[in-house]
Amino acid sequence: MSDADNAIAAAIASVRDEAIATFGWTHVELDARWDGMAWVLRGQVVAPRWRDRVVAAVVHAAGGAAVDASGVALLRSERVHALSEPCTTLRRGPELDAPLVGELVPEDGPVMWLATHEGGTLVRVRDGTLGWTRATLGAEVPLPRFAAPSVAPRPDRLGAAAAAWRDVPYHLGGATRAGIDCSALVQRMLRTVGIWLPRHSVDQVAIEPHDGPGPGSVGDLLGVWTADESPCHVALIVAPDVVAHASRSRGRVVIEPIDDLLARVGWAMHVPFAAFAALSMRVVGAFALDEVLALGRVGADALRGRHGSTDVRPRSAR
């Protein structure tokens, strides 16, 4: 191998080592060759963000040379399983004490089996989440794909969906009535009108971020930054001038006037409901959202830097 080949191989290995250190396991299996114009990558990674990191590492190692990553695919399998337990816990790694990623109920399935390691099973969820579980998966089922909505999503039904979650305890990583966080609550409410969203708040806002809190239309998503909540805290407008959100500072799901929320925040952006309705059409034919959306590619601070607005005064004060 040439010095250049060795440098590229080392760059790919460094990304693989980073993934193993973070998650306890990885699947970054790539070959690289120089075709005279670019470094051509072929193989598989477990998630799009690792493809991005490999490309960045190769570009750096190659002194800025072009990289063709079109041949890098996501790890997939034909094994799809129903969720048989009332609550399936997902963690960041296969260890029992690994950080919580999320919780699944049977309606969140089926899930795609990807790997087993040290007693854990790595699965891909239809919302694009990757996580390890030690739960026993249910029966193997045919691979489902998102279908076009039979009727247009109706945001006017979100008020009833929010009311069903009022006062449920806040729990970071939770997604059940025993405890739920802000992004899972948004997921659950929008699912009642036929819309699937990614699990994490930054990915939800990144679907179509607009500066400021917007016009306050029912069904719009607000992403806000405030000392009282986690970065990129999300709330859903569920009725005229009313938002619902799972509040860390209050310890429960809150339904309140939108101006009361805006009075406490320093940065805000919004995503119109129409963007979520359009997403329902974009994912037709896919098994999971990460086949269509670039999940996990932007952090909360970077998103705020690109799109956040400081004009978050209550509308009555503008």
> Do 193 and 116 reside in the same domain of the chain?
no
Q: Judge whether 150 lies within some domain.
A: no
Chain segment 86-119, per-residue pLDDT in tens: 999 999 989 889 999 999 999 999 999 999 999 9
In a domain, 141, yes or no: no
pLDDT, greater one: 227 or 124: 124
103 with 68, same domain: the answer is no
Check: pTM over 0.85? Answer yes or no.
yes
The larger pLDDT score, comparing residue 128 to residue 305, is at 128
Number of independent structural domains in the chain: 3
Which pLDDT does position 150 carry in this prediction?
87
- Assign 307 a pLDDT band (cuts: 50, 70, 90): low
Shared domain check, 98 and 14: no
- Domain assignment present for 139: no
Please, which residues have CB within 8 angstroms of residue 312's CB and are 6 or more apart in sequence? 212, 213, 224, 262, 265, 266, 267, 268
Q: Is the same domain home to 54 and 122?
A: no
Q: For 91, what's the count of Cα atoms within 13 Å in the CB-facing half-sphere?
A: 16
- Residue 202 inside a domain? The answer is yes
Q: How far is Cα 28 from Cα 15, in angstroms, rounded to an integer?
A: 8
Higher local confidence (pLDDT), 314 or 282: 282
Task: Verify that 174 and 87 share a domain, yes or no.
Answer: no
- What's the CA gap between 245 and 29, in Å, rounded? 40
Indicate if 165 and 259 belong to the same structural domain.
yes
pLDDT one-digit tens code per residue, 148-168:
998 889 999 999 999 999 999
Do residues 27 and 43 touch, judged by C-beta distance below 8 A?
Answer: no
| Mean pLDDT lowest among 39-53, 56-70, 190-204 | 39-53
pLDDT bucket at 224, cuts 50 / 70 / 90? very high
The domain containing residue 99 runs over which residues?
Answer: 80-133
Considering the domain architecture, whether residues 279 and 208 belong to the same structural domain is answered as yes
User: Are 70 and 89 part of one and the same domain?
Assistant: no
State both tokens at 130.
């990757």
Average pLDDT, the chain: 91
Given pLDDT bands bounded at 50, 70 and 90, which one contains residue 318? Answer: very low
Q: Are residues 25 and 56 in the same domain?
A: yes
Angle between helices 3-23 and 48-61 (to 10 degrees): 150
Task: Examine residue 142 and state whether it is found in any structural domain, yes or no.
Answer: no
Question: Given the DSSP bridges, would you call strands 242-247 and 179-180 parallel, antiparallel or unpaired?
Answer: unpaired
**Long-range contacts, stretch 27-31, CB < 8 angstroms, 24+ apart:** 27/75, 27/114, 27/115, 28/54, 30/54, 30/72
